[in-house]
Amino acid sequence: MPHVEGVVLKKYRHLIWDWNGTLLDDAWLCREIMNGQLRRRSLPTISQERYEAVFDFPVERYYRTVGFDWQKESFAEAGTEFIVEYEKRKGECRLQTGARELLQRLGTEGITQAVLSAYSHSSLEGFLGHFGIRGHFRSVAGHRDHYAAGKVEQGLEMLKELHVRPEDTLLIGDTTHDAEVARAMGVECFLIPCGHNSRDRLERCGFPVVAGLGDLLAG
């Protein structure tokens, strides 16, 4: 995929960020919690490589891939178990390297920003406030629940509410689902292999892959 220089961002008027794995470094925590769930069910745990290869949206499909059996329990039960532990431990997470600096720079260059996430909306708003970065975003859209079914619908609604043209908009994310969302919205997309999906999977999506947020700060 083509190398992406920081100056490329200046061609866009609006930037939409994914949160988990893109601005927030939390893939390690999600993997730890999942492995705890798998051990409690006497199922094989997953390595970082395996996690990045199978994590997907809707998350229910990913749970089945790693061995959950919905004849023994419901996805609602397993998903709630995960999010309860995640909410207890999320304070251990930090922003990705370069995230804070990049958000500040884009603001000074007149590029408006938003967050589009499958994370629950109320928790997302609280977490952005925790890091002191909520003010960088013109709009924040999270999911109405914590089951992470996807975010295409929220993305399309965001474009309408913000009154921005798709051709002037860039989405930055860390999963193949972010590529799917960008295509559904008709916007450009940069993918970063710093979160929940591997570089190999991202490179097959057909969008530019950036090594990290630091690359977007360059130039």
Question: Could you tell me the pLDDT band of residue 107, with boundaries at 50, 70 and 90?
Answer: confident
pLDDT, one tens digit per residue, over 76-99 is 999 999 999 999 999 999 999 999
| pTM listed for this prediction | 0.91
Domain ranges of the chain: 6-25+95-217, 27-92
pLDDT tops 60 at residue 146: no
* CATH assignment of 6-25+95-217, among 3.30.9.10, 2.60.40.3950, 3.40.50.1000, 3.40.50.300: 3.40.50.1000
Per-residue pLDDT tens over the stretch 4-14? 444 467 789 99
Q: Which of 149-153, 177-181, 215-219 has the highest mean pLDDT?
A: 177-181
Contact 148, 119 (CB under 8 A): yes
Instruction: Show Cβ contacts of residue 69 under 8 Å, excluding neighbours closer than 6 positions.
Output: none
Please state the rounded mean pLDDT for residues 103-126. Answer: 91
C-alpha to C-alpha distance for 54 and 164, rounded to whole angstroms? 33
CA atoms within 13 A on the CB side of 51: 20
**CA–CA dist 180, 183 (Å, integer):** 5
Residue 149 has pLDDT above 80, yes or no: no
Record the tokens describing residue 97, joined without a space: 């390297």
Identify the DSSP state of 6: G
pLDDT tens-digit readout, 31-46: 999 999 999 999 999 9
| Percent of the chain predicted with pLDDT > 90 | 75
